[in-house]
Amino acid sequence: MKRHHIIKTILIFQALLIFASCKKALTEIPNNAIPTQDAIVDASTARAAIIGTYDAVQNYYASNYPTLGTITADNVIFNGTLSQYLQLDQNAIPPDNVITVAAYQGIYKAINSANSVIAYVPQVSDPLLTATEKNKILGEAYFIRALGYFDLGRGWGGVQLQLKPTTDLSALKGIKRSTLDQTYDQVLADLTKAEPLLPEDATTRNRAQQSTVRALRARLDLYRSQWADAENYATQVINNTKYTLVKPYKAFFTAPFLSTESVFELTFTANDKNSFWNLWYPSSLGGQFTLKPSDAIVAKLNNPAIGGTRNTLIAGSGTSVYGVLYNTSATSTDPSYVIRIAELYLIRAEARAQQGNLSGALADLNAVRNRAGVANSAAATQADVLQAIEDENSVEFAFEPHRWFDLVRTGRAGTVLGLTNQNYWLFPIPLSDILSDPDVTQNAGY
């Protein structure tokens, strides 16, 4: 995706929305609630709409959602005074915690943007919008909606399923919360629709395509303990020669963007910034140093037998050790790595181990370890292999939003984090949503 083209396209879409708001001024429709059917009318606006949908995903992955997946577990600790981060660090999260609220509402904004594309792009009749491109845009929207509901499900449990575009916040009223299984069923339905609509090419990594869909499907099946399907879809992605485990480890985040390590990443620009680095870097480098590697993960990363070359994820010394996942802090243009090929190897390893294929599981586990310069695992029993895979995930994705969700999905959050009350394995539904919608029930314990 050309960065200057993305910026230009988003500006065009925003301008169209402003123009539409001027035309509708006498109807007293708020500027932030322009009916999208008035904005998606031809090829250029359809293209702008899907770019705007990606932008909505970027907004919640730029800081809030990754923070929820890291500070709540044991690899990352809070280093500051802001109460919203302290609450997350201590797993004592009130329903008005600003980070959980922003993440939850940000995901719904991305879903609503995808809903608009799904609803109105099929109605566009423009010779410049070919059937192939229209299908691609629709496939991307279905994938983004699937990602949104998956991220909601693993964070908040079953949620309200809104599948039509809305123009105001009251549109969810009357829709009761679905179960987690029903929410994941919706994710599966959207992925099933997306896959045949999307192309596959040799270079694209920051827009959805067939392999991206299959990768999220593998993750979904892992979360649902559907081991054979998880193995199958992970294998399809691993067998795609466009993806490789890059060596040395740090190459995927210090080499040019769109590394062969990335299955799906979100692209940021100087005008559309990724602010996550700011929470990690010390003030001497322009950051806030709000998130900090725990002593335990620092010790693991610095242990050649565990971390290997992954010690490049940390910098600094003494009490000023900080996390380094992004190459450039000053420009805030680093991508957000949503799915890496290393995850697919570890998904397949876990799925194989659960099915009793320990040699296959160890082969995948060791592929990830060897890439980091770490020797083969000595695990022999099924329990030991599964524990080794859990440990490898923790180190491989030390500062990416995996650890918390992995511990919750495997039921290990109580043992590892001491969080024995399973009510707090889900985030609270925002208080504002509870107060405004009688159909929304709060998660137990909040």
Question: At 244, which CATH number?
Answer: 1.25.40.390
- Segment 388-412 shows an average pLDDT of 98
Q: Return the percentage of the chain with pLDDT > 90, whole number.
A: 78
Give which of 113, 136, 111, 126 is closest to 41, Cα–Cα: 126
Query: Which band of pLDDT confidence, cut at 50, 70 and 90, is reported for residue 171?
Result: low
DSSP string, 76-109: EEE-SS-HHHHHHHTT---TT-HHHHHHHHHHHH
Whether 396 is in a domain gets the answer yes
Task: Identify the pLDDT of residue 14.
Answer: 44
Q: By C-alpha distance, which of 433, 368, 418, 420 is closest to 394?
A: 368
Task: Compute the average pLDDT of residues 214-221.
Answer: 98
CA distance 216 to 223: 11
**Is residue 367 in a domain?**
yes
The band of 30, judged by pLDDT with boundaries at 50, 70 and 90, is very low
For residue 340, give the H/E element and its range.
Answer: strand 336-340
Q: Domain range holding 267? A: 224-410
pLDDT band for 38, please (50, 70, 90 cuts): low
Query: Does residue 269 form part of some domain?
Result: yes
pTM above 0.75, yes or no: yes
> Which region among 152-161, 276-285, 329-338 has the lowest average model confidence (pLDDT)?
329-338
Q: Identify whether the C-beta of residue 78 lies closer than 8 Å to the C-beta of residue 290.
A: yes
The string over 147-162, giving b where at least 16 C-beta atoms fall within 10 Å of a residue's C-beta and e elsewhere, is bbbbbbbbbbbbbbbb
Angle, vertex CA 181, rays to CA 180 and CA 182, nearest 5: 90
Would you list the DSSP string of 269-310?
BTTB---GGGGTS-GGGT----EEE-HHHHHHHH-TTTTGGG
DSSP state of 318: G
In a domain, 74, yes or no: no
Burial of 168 (0-12, 13-18, 19+ CB in 10 A): exposed
Go through the chain and tell me how many residues it has: 446
| 392 falls within a domain | yes
Contacts of 29 (CB under 8 A, 6+ apart): 21, 35, 167
The average pLDDT across 121-129 equals: 97
Quick one: what percent of the chain has pLDDT higher than 70?
88
Tokens found for residue 432: 């504002």
In a domain, 359, yes or no: yes
| Residue 47, pLDDT score | 97
What would the two tokens of residue 383 be? 């329990």
Q: Determine how β-strand 291-293 pairs with β-strand 322-323.
A: unpaired
Total domains present in the chain: 1
Structural contact between residues 334 and 277, judged by C-beta atoms closer than 8 angstroms: yes
- Of the candidates 325, 316, 294, 305, the residue with the CA atom closest to the CA atom of residue 399: 325
Tell which residue, 158, 124, 160, has the closest CA to residue 141.
124
Arithmetic mean of pLDDT, 107-128: 97
Residues 6+ apart with CB under 8 A from 56: 106, 109, 110, 113
Helix pair 341-354, 210-223: axis angle to 10 deg: 40
In a domain, 334, yes or no: yes
pLDDT digits (tens, 9 = 90+) for 372-390: 999 999 999 999 999 999 9
Confirm whether 250 is domain-assigned: yes
Residue pair 110/140 in contact (Cβ under 8 Å)? The answer is: no
The per-residue pLDDT for 232 is: 98
Residue 5: band (very low, low, confident or very high) from pLDDT cuts 50, 70, 90:
very low
Q: Is the pLDDT of residue 15 over 80?
A: no
Quick check: 119 and 166 in contact, CB under 8 A? no
